[in-house]
Amino acid sequence: MELTILGSGTGVPSLRRGAPGALLKVEGKTLLIDIGSGTLQKMLRCGVTYLDLDAIILTHLHPDHVSDLLAFFFACKYSLAPRTKELFVLGGKGFREYYETLRQLYGHWVKADTYRLHLQEAPHGKRTVAGIALTTFPLEHTRASIGLRIEEGEKVLAYSGDTDYCPQVVEMARGADLLVLECSFPDDRKVKGHLTPSLAGRIAREAGAKRLLLTHLYPPCDERDILAECRREFEGEVRVAEDMMCLEI
């Protein structure tokens, strides 16, 4: 497995950090996890276009995680290079309603005329998406929030999306070779529904994760030593995500 962080930031505009998005290559397939503003352009820097994706997985429906989804569907209509490859899009509770709202607003421009579109809601449990087996976990952020656990052979990736500390995120992270957790604010600026460095470290420690990557960083995180805060709880390898960072799992 290979994971590229396309956007390590949030909905707050930043020259350093783009909105959330991560590209995962696993078992010969290309999956996109979240599709915030600017994701489609960042994909091009990885040699991946709107024509190439096998699946899009949405951890929840807040604008900073889905704002390029509309642009993606619109790009698929490009008459000189229309998408023909089938596409799987997975989200939590309410995702189908969200897509139907887009159809009501934009009609033909988001309709899949030249390719097969498979929509799935997966709030909890094992699923197969584009031939890839994965497990989703309901997390503490919104009613539609999910985290992901993907296994390839003996390798495990766990990816949280936005969440607060909860038993499900620890279960999701159990023994992960790479655990990707949101880390929105430093320890002294805790916000409900989001993690801090120490909470992320606690989850990694309790889950027995091997490596931890902190992402979804609001600007105050770049003004503090969040690695030091995280290491109070977790003694394993921990890194801070940057846009276009690529990791092997």
Catalytic residue IDs: 64
What CA dihedral angle connects 244, 245, 248 and 249, to 10 degrees?
-100
Which backbone phi and psi does 99 adopt, to 5 degrees? -65, -40
Residue closest to 16 by CA, chosen among 1, 45, 38: 38
Report how far residue 186's alpha carbon sits from residue 193's, in angstroms, rounded to the nearest whole number.
Answer: 14
Tokens linked to 65: 């995680």
SS3 for 70? helix
- Tell me what percent of the chain is helix, strand and coil, each rounded to the nearest 5: 25, 30, 45
Distance of CA 232 to CAs 79, 177, 220, 222, 227, Å?
54, 20, 19, 18, 9
Q: 55-93: b or e for each residue (b if 16 or more CB lie within 10 Å)?
A: bbbbbbbbebbbbbbebbbebbeeeeeebeeebbbbbbb
Rg of the chain, C-alpha, whole Å: 17
